[in-house]
Amino acid sequence: MKETVSSVAIKKEWDIVAARQAGRQISQRLGFGSVDQARITTAISELARNIYLYAKEGEIIFDEVHDLPKVGLKIIAKDKGPGINDLSAAMKDGYSTSGGLGAGLPGVKRLMDEFDMESGDTGTKVTVIKWARP
């Protein structure tokens, strides 16, 4: 039903651009429109920047999902950082990220269609899906 398309390791700031690039190529191939492409890449930026700023190291994994007749893009952001203590607080609007001006996790949730997050001592895993508009 699905195949792992690719992943991008996030270690330095420029890796954020590489992750965006990979995400854009896949979303173009899957037929996302310009606004959705821009939303997906903004979400990728946000997730990758969180890894870069708070966990230092991690990866962004891209999956194509087929749930006929829908086609979607699943993005998993994984890191082995300190984790997020209060997930509910992190999901509230106004919770500071990236110096306060980032969209933050609530922004990522708004940009995408599905959102899930787990966090613990071993790190954080955020999974999001955007479905292509038929």
Partner 1 sequence: MSSLKSDMQDYKELLSQYLKTKDEAVLYQAEQFSKQSIQQNISPDEVINVHYQALQELIPNIDESVQDSFQFLIETMISYGLAYQEHQVLREKQIELKSEIGVAANMQNTLLKTSVPSANAMDIGVKSVPAKEMNGDYHHFIKDEQGNIGVAVADVIGKGIPAAFCMSMIKFAMESFTENQIYPQWILESLNRVVGRNVDKGMFVTMFYGLYDVYTHQFYYASAGHEPCYVLREETGEFEEIDAKGLLLGVESTVQYEQLQTAINPNDLIVLLTDGVTECRVDGRFIEQEEVLNVIKAHAHLESQEIVDHVFKYFERLQDFQLRDDFTLVVMKRNDG
Spell out where the chain has E strands.
Answer: 4-10, 58-67, 70-79, 114-120, 123-131
Straight-line distance from the first to the last Cα atom of the chain, in angstroms, rounded to the nearest whole number: 19
* Binding piece for partner 1, criterion CB under 8 A, among 35-43, 63-71, 83-91, 115-123: 35-43
The residue (of 11 and 92) whose beta carbon lies closer to partner 1 is 92
Question: How far apart are CB 123 and partner 1 at their closest, in Å?
Answer: 26
Question: How far apart are CB 12 and partner 1 at their closest, in Å?
Answer: 22
- At residue 35, what are phi and psi to the nearest 5 degrees? -65, -45
Binding mask 95-124 for partner 1 (x = CB under 8 A): --------x--xx--xx-------------
Q: Which amino acid is at 68?
A: L
Q: How many whole angstroms separate alpha carbon 98 and alpha carbon 37?
A: 22
Q: Does 70 bind partner 1 (CB under 8 A)?
A: no
Give the count of residues interacting with partner 1 (CB under 8 A): 15
